[in-house]
């Protein structure tokens, strides 16, 4: 079913559900789902409204102008998304393939809905994965003295392919502040640790040394502060003293895969709102 999704945030105030739902009802829309959240600490209100696209009786532009006029006096910050427009996702990888395969297979199964016109890597090693799934694979190696140029090429390709969402599927490069800010809320990174534990590099080795009894992974939006962006999803798996660092890496792969996939799915379904360092992730709902 094709839908229209409004993501809204504003200071909490009386009558929001009523006013917003009535706005759509009066224009003949069928509201399929309406989810809210109030952050009591900040007094901020968040809303996701899912409408049946078939019940749109005007042009999209007209709807948007209309809503814009409605939203201004209420102080709403909002975005609108039409699910007949398929989003375009670029996957950036380095040398490990498990997250890449996982996203491509889920897309093939129809679990996540998007186009993947582009795989980008700083290494040639995963080129064959692109071939298997018939997706253009661009290898842009990073010379130590030419990091900025390589990033420039990356950004040019993202523009050229009209990319909506950038997924860092174990892309072991740090992005520059301007890049991250241009794609604010549109770059998802998978970190192979249960953040904020083991922030930074080599988390499995450090987890082993610390003797933790569970390891985890964290999917978050990339921000200029490394590993500090809003967390979208986390999960863990139990380990024991018997597990070596290599075992942690292997067990971790399953956690990384699932955590990244859930985060990407939530983003593509327009279920996430960012509130400072926190994220509101609405359930998939019906």
Q: Which residues contact its own copies by CB under 8 A? A: 14-19, 21-22, 24-26, 30-41, 97-98, 101, 105, 109, 111, 132, 194-198, 209-214, 216, 230-236, 240-244, 247, 250, 253-254, 258, 277-281, 283-286
Minimal distance, residue 25 CB to its own copies, in Å: 4
CA distances 234 to 212, 252, 269, Å, are: 16, 12, 18
Minimal distance, residue 124 CB to its own copies, in Å: 17
Minimal distance, residue 210 CB to its own copies, in Å: 6
Of 45 and 161, the one with the shorter C-beta distance to its own copies is 45
Of 188 and 230, the one with the shorter C-beta distance to its own copies is 230
| Residues 86/115, Cβ–Cβ less than 8 Å | yes
Minimal distance, residue 108 CB to its own copies, in Å: 8
Q: How far apart are CA 72 and CA 81, in angstroms?
A: 19
> Which of 111, 4, 126 shows the shortest CA–CA distance to 55?
4
| Residues 241/214, Cβ–Cβ less than 8 Å | no
Strands of the chain (E only): list them: 3-11, 31-39, 44-52, 77-82, 88-93, 115-121, 137-139, 165-168, 187-191, 214-221, 231-238, 272-275, 278-281
CA distances 49 to 22, 31, 74, 76, 261, Å, are: 12, 7, 16, 13, 23
Residues 6+ apart with CB under 8 A from 224: 177, 180, 181
Of 60 and 277, the one with the shorter C-beta distance to its own copies is 277
Tokens standing for residue 193: 């640790």
Q: How many CB atoms neighbour CB 97 within 10 A?
A: 17
Of 24 and 78, the one with the shorter C-beta distance to its own copies is 24
Active site residue 247: no
Catalytic residue among 54, 227, 235, 243: 227
Of 152 and 247, the one with the shorter C-beta distance to its own copies is 247
Tokens standing for residue 213: 């009894």
Is the Cα torsion angle 200, 203, 205, 207 positive or negative in sign? positive
Minimal distance, residue 111 CB to its own copies, in Å: 6
Of 127 and 254, the one with the shorter C-beta distance to its own copies is 254
Which residue numbers are catalytic? 227
């Amino acid at each position: 079913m094709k839908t229209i999704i409004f993501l809204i945030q504003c200071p909490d105030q009386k009558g929001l559900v009523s006013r917003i739902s009535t706005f759509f009802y009066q224009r003949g829309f069928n509201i399929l789902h309406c989810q809210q959240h109030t952050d009591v600490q900040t007094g901020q209100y968040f809303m996701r409204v899912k409408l049946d696209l078939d019940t749109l009786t005007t042009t999209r532009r007209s709807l948007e102008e209309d809503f814009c006029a409605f939203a201004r006096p209420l102080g709403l910050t909002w975005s609108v998304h039409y699910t007949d427009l398929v989003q375009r996702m670029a996957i950036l990888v380095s040398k490990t393939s498990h997250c890449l395969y996982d996203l491509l297979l889920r897309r093939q199964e129809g679990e996540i809905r998007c186009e993947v016109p582009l795989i980008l890597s700083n290494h040639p090693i995963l080129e064959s994965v692109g071939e298997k799934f018939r997706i253009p694979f661009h290898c842009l190696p990073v010379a130590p003295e030419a990091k900025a140029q390589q990033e420039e090429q990356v950004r040019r390709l993202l523009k050229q392919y009209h990319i909506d969402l950038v997924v860092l599927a174990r892309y072991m490069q740090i992005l520059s502040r301007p890049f991250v800010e241009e794609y604010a809320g549109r770059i998802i990174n998978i970190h192979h640790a249960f953040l904020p534990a083991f922030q930074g590099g080599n988390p499995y080795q450090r987890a082993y040394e610390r003797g933790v009894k569970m390891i985890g992974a964290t999917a978050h939006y990339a921000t200029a502060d490394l590993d500090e962006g809003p967390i979208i999803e986390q999960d863990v798996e139990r380990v024991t003293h018997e597990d070596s660092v290599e075992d942690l890496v292997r067990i971790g792969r399953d956690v990384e895969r699932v955590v990244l996939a859930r985060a990407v799915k939530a983003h593509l379904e327009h279920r996430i709102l960012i509130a400072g360092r926190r994220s509101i992730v609405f359930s998939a709902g019906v």
